[in-house]
Structure 1
């Protein structure tokens, strides 16, 4: 599943490709998961000009000239393809612009979905200034026995972080993923906040350098702990375990709080 850094770069590239273009036609191929009648999508999107493409949490947000917003959640296996590609399969929906450019969202599991006027979340994005010590400390204090990695991945706590970047953030903060969230001291909470901002910002820069035109997928060759490499750049062996049903990567540098 693409996480915040990939989606940030994807949103910027979609914006460069399609902003200020007028939609000729949106075609919905899978109607079961729609949050509104399919005719509402056609009525509100067809003939409208795309003003901008942004990212918020793990959603891409297309903003149109009539103040309608179309959200895209790629889920686990969703992909975006330019309509110029050959043999596109498993389409969920596609948008064709008047200049005949466009893109399709595909998903062989049919989990990806368009969302008409998605409800704005009150949960902070990981890069928002509102995701700070004053916000996170009481959340962790109320988390009882939950581990810190589970909290960071919880989209009802902070939006945009998934399995890989939770590992990267906690490695940078030197906090073990299985640490009890409620036992983490204030200084380490501050380290987690700082690491969240720096790790994600650096990842956006790295992805932009490696794949400047990407509009789909995950670029992770630069990750330091969530990787197939045997050791981190600090020369510590990377340990692996199952935690919360997800493969988790960590080293002995990271302290366990319990």
Structure 2
């Protein structure tokens, strides 16, 4: 699932090219992906992209009124085209109007959007390669109208989110990994980066939040900031099709089952749950203890 670092890099890439662009095409082959629409999706054609940004794991296009509407003094505010990529969604970006490249996603695409900006044409094809298609699209007048956004916790790299605020998350008997992944507590961190953060902080993923000593919480807080900001810096400027491979290559323990830990050389181990798994280093994180191979994901 795309997480905060790669979606941040994606929004920077898209905003640089699409801010000020006119939406010229919006093809929605079926209504399945469109979960909420305050206006018909076709009515966005002719409008201008004000900006592209992110909240949590959501990609947000701010769509201003069409030029003729503004010229006539229309006071209607912007609309927001919001994408939740879910587990297997992503996008294809082209420097021309979208077309047959959607077949790269196995023939399925959730939507195709065309843009024109200062004589440059661009295409965005929203794809979902999962067996279960979870990518969701919302067209709303305010981002908080999307239930998932309204419930989001603070952004982990926001300057206003300090150690004191972070400490307040660790008062319940909940696994640390579940705290980091809980979007209502802190936004944008998923399965991959929670593994990486816990490895950097040298903490067991199944330890309970309320059991952490103050210095361990501070270590986790610093690791979270360092891992996320480092990944954003590494991914900045990369094209959308480069982000997923770059993320995979940057992982130290996530997705590295059976490989040596880059810190201590021990073998990276895995715990599997229904539909997901986690990876960890026994020497770095669990004092050498091998966690159960299977369990109940109480924090999913």
TM-score band w.r.t. shorter chain: 0.7 to 0.9
User: Of 207, 221, 234, which residue of structure 2 is paired with 1:193?
Assistant: 221
CA RMSD, 1 decimal: 2.3
Match of 1:183 in 2: 211
Please state how far the C-alpha of 1:173 moved relative to its aligned partner: 1.0
Q: Aligned partners of 1:12 and 1:215: how far apart in 2? A: 14
For the pair 1:29 / 2:47, whether they are aligned, the reply is no
Structure 2 residue matching 1:157: 3-state secondary structure: coil
Cα 1:140/1:96, change in 2 over 3 Å: same
Q: Aligned partners of 2:31 and 2:46: how far apart in 1? A: 21
Q: After superposition, where does 1:1-258 map in structure 2 within 5 Å?
A: 1-37=1-37, 39-43=39-43, 45-66=44-65, 67-82=78-93, 83=98, 86-88=101-103, 89-98=107-116, 100-108=121-129, 109-117=132-140, 118-119=143-144, 120-121=149-150, 122-141=152-171, 143-144=172-173, 146-208=174-236, 212-215=238-241, 218=244, 219=246, 220-228=248-256, 230-242=259-271, 245=274, 246-251=276-281, 252-255=283-286
After superposition, the C-alpha distances for 1:86-138 in whole angstroms (9 at most, x for unaligned) are 35321111211245422110114331121123315351122223433222322
Structure 2 residue matching 1:253: 3-state secondary structure: helix
Q: Aligned partners of 1:231 and 1:32: how far apart in 2? A: 43
Contact map agreement 1:148 1:179 (CA 8 A) in 2: yes
Q: Aligned partners of 1:232 and 1:178: how far apart in 2? A: 19
| TM-score (norm. length: structure 2) | 0.76
Cα 1:227/1:235, change in 2 over 3 Å: farther
Larger Rg: 2
Q: Where has structure 1 moved over 4 Å in runs of 4 or more?
A: none
Contact map agreement 2:154 2:185 (CA 8 A) in 1: yes
